[in-house]
Amino acid sequence: IAAIDVGAHEIGIRVAELVLDLLNGRRALDDRVVVGMTPRVVVRHTA
């Protein structure tokens, strides 16, 4: 369980960093993953 929690935490941090990069106007190398995981955030920003 501890390993799963750590993995989820790291994934959350990574996603947060990618979203912040997009909001800051940078193009993340794996922005397709961000769009797939957080469509509402991206749509709100680009709308």
pLDDT tens for 1-45 read: 556 666 777 778 888 887 887 777 655 455 555 555 555 555 555
What's the pLDDT score for residue 40? 56
Q: What is the pLDDT of residue 44?
A: 53
Q: What is the C-alpha separation between 19 and 33, in angstroms, rounded? A: 10
Instruction: Note down the domain range covering 25.
Output: 2-46
Q: Rounded to two decimals, what is the model's pTM?
A: 0.38
Distances (CA, A) of 44 to 10, 11, 23, 28: 25, 22, 10, 17
b (16+ CB within 10 A) / e for 29-47: eeeeebbeebeeebeeeee
What pLDDT score was predicted for residue 31? 55
Q: Please answer whether residues 35 and 29 qualify as being in contact, where contact means their C-beta atoms are separated by less than 8 angstroms.
A: no
| Total tally of structural domains belonging to the chain | 1
pLDDT value, residue 16 = 84
